[in-house]
């Protein structure tokens, strides 16, 4: 006799078996949170550039901490370049009040 025939002929036994499994698994489900711990500290390496930047920002700018921060990092640009200054001021003007406060 195939499984499907047995299941079709004994629905009450199948239902009882499922109920027993559910009752036995309930205590294990309560302990699931103890077993699974998805801590960002454990999963993310501190060698990633964005994590390094976040650590530096938290250390150096403690008053400016905000979970909803966006960082703009520019490299290989001279701070004395007038075009770079204009681009920064234009970016700042577009962002302030819309995405960020002063």
Section 61-67 average pLDDT: 70
Report the pLDDT value the prediction gives residue 23, as an integer from 0 to 100: 92
Cα maximum dimension of the chain: 85
* Cα distance between residue 85 and residue 102, in whole Å: 18
Nearest of 75, 58, 68, 60 to residue 101 by alpha carbon = 68
Q: Is the pLDDT of residue 94 over 90?
A: no
Question: Can you say whether the dihedral through the CA atoms of 81, 86, 87, 89 is positive or negative?
Answer: positive
- Mean of pLDDT over the chain: 80
Q: Is the pLDDT of residue 80 over 70?
A: yes
Report the pLDDT value the prediction gives residue 85, as an integer from 0 to 100: 86
Report the pLDDT value the prediction gives residue 77, as an integer from 0 to 100: 81
Is the pTM higher than 0.75? The answer reads no
Distance of CA 36 to the CA centre of its chain: 15
Report the pLDDT value the prediction gives residue 65, as an integer from 0 to 100: 67
């Amino acid at each position: 006799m195939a499984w499907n025939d047995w299941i079709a002929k004994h629905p009450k036994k199948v239902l009882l078996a499922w109920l027993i499994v559910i009752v036995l698994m309930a205590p294990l489900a309560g302990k699931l949170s103890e077993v699974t711990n998805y801590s960002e500290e454990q999963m993310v390496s501190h060698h990633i550039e964005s994590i390094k930047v976040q650590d530096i920002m938290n250390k150096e700018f403690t008053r400016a901490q905000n979970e909803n921060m966006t960082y703009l990092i520019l490299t290989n640009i001279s701070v004395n370049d007038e075009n770079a200054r204009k681009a920064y001021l234009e970016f700042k003007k577009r962002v302030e009040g819309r995405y960020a406060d002063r």
